[in-house]
């Protein structure tokens, strides 16, 4: 039986900034436009957090039963390490998806936008089929694309839309910035696991690009995020440039990735990239709060 501490570690709390950031950043845009709705923002946060934890447990289950985690160098995996029964981990994933579905349904009832049910269903399906099912898209090198779509475009624009009933140009730039940083977290994760994934036959984008290409891609995503923040400022208020506060957290990741660290030495890169995403969202929120 896994302990409570092991279940918490299996939920991978260090990835939670990737769930909090898009809701915070999207709410910043809603605030700037005069339409911030605390209850709807709170429900969006519940959806995002539940999906993030759910996808973490789902990945743990699916990778574990496939044997992909046999040579893992990252944090504890419940199924791969044998500390938890695989069906229990799957049940934990589905429970999280259920929480996300309930919170999402509450949003639909409050806003009347019934078509959002389809978006929610797509988000849950994307969370499961990242590593689940017969042909998981995470094994086809498409993980980063889906992260950009669902933890960037969908999460940010959805947060804005349920509060404003529309999206603005600043919304899309915000989504690009947050989505690029969310992708960078996954790229760093896959760079860390590159050799193990290659040996297990898991064809992530990192295994396709190779070590050097993956490092260039990571740095390029950080550049896209910086450009996204500039786009937010240009379409809303120059106070939004406070989002560039993320650079403080990115100094270490840029240095470590550029100098070629690998394996466990990349774990701090994941942590600080996640903090950078949160710092970006916080900077945008503070900046647009001041501008309003």
Is pLDDT at 71 greater than 70 in this prediction?
no
CB count in 10 Å sphere of residue 112? 8
Query: Which pLDDT band, with edges at 50, 70 and 90, does 245 fall under?
Result: very high
Share of the chain above pLDDT 70, in %: 98
In the predicted model, what is the mean pLDDT of residues 211-240? 97
The pLDDT score that the predictor gives to residue 255 is 96
In the predicted model, what is the mean pLDDT of residues 41-70? 90
Q: State the pTM of this model.
A: 0.93
Q: What is the pLDDT of residues 108-138, one digit of tens each?
A: 999 999 999 999 999 999 999 998 888 889 8
b/e per residue 148-161 (b: at least 16 CB within 10 A): bbbbbbbbbbbbbb
Is pLDDT at 70 greater than 70 in this prediction?
no
Both tokens assigned to 209:
């690009």
Q: What is the pLDDT of residues 173-219, one digit of tens each?
A: 999 999 999 999 999 999 998 988 888 778 899 999 999 999 999 99
The pLDDT score that the predictor gives to residue 74 is 64
Q: Apex CA 276: angle with CA 274 and CA 280, to 5°? A: 120
Torsion of CA 285, 99, 127, 81, to 10 degrees: 110
The pLDDT score that the predictor gives to residue 67 is 78
């Amino acid at each position: 039986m896994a302990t409570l501490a092991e279940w918490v570690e299996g939920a991978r709390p260090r990835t939670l900034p990737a769930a909090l950031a898009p809701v915070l950043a999207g709410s910043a845009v809603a605030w700037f436009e005069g339409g911030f709705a605390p209850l709807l923002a709170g429900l969006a946060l519940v959806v995002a957090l539940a999906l993030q934890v759910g996808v973490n447990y789902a990945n743990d289950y699916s990778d574990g039963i496939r044997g992909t985690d046999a040579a893992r160098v990252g944090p504890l995996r419940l199924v791969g390490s044998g500390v938890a029964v695989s069906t229990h981990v799957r049940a934990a994933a589905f429970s999280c998806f259920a929480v996300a579905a309930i919170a999402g349904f509450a949003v639909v009832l409050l806003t009347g936008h019934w078509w959002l049910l389809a978006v929610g269903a797509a988000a849950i399906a994307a969370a499961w089929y990242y590593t689940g099912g017969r042909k998981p898209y995470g094994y086809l090198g498409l993980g980063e694309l889906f992260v950009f779509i669902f933890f960037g475009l969908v999460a940010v624009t959805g947060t804005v839309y349920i509060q404003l009933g529309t999206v603005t140009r600043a919304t899309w730039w915000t989504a690009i910035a947050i989505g690029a940083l969310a992708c960078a977290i996954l790229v760093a994760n896959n760079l860390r696991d590159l050799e193990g994934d290659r040996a297990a036959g898991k064809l992530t984008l990192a295994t396709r690009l190779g070590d050097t290409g993956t490092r260039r891609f990571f740095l390029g995503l950080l550049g896209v995020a910086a450009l996204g923040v500039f786009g937010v400022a240009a379409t809303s208020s120059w106070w939004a440039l406070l989002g560039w506060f993320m650079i403080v957290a990115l100094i270490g990741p840029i240095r470590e990735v550029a100098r070629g660290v690998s394996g466990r030495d990349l774990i701090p890169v994941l942590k600080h990239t996640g903090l950078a995403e949160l710092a970006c969202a916080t900077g945008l929120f503070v900046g647009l709060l001041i501008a309003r």
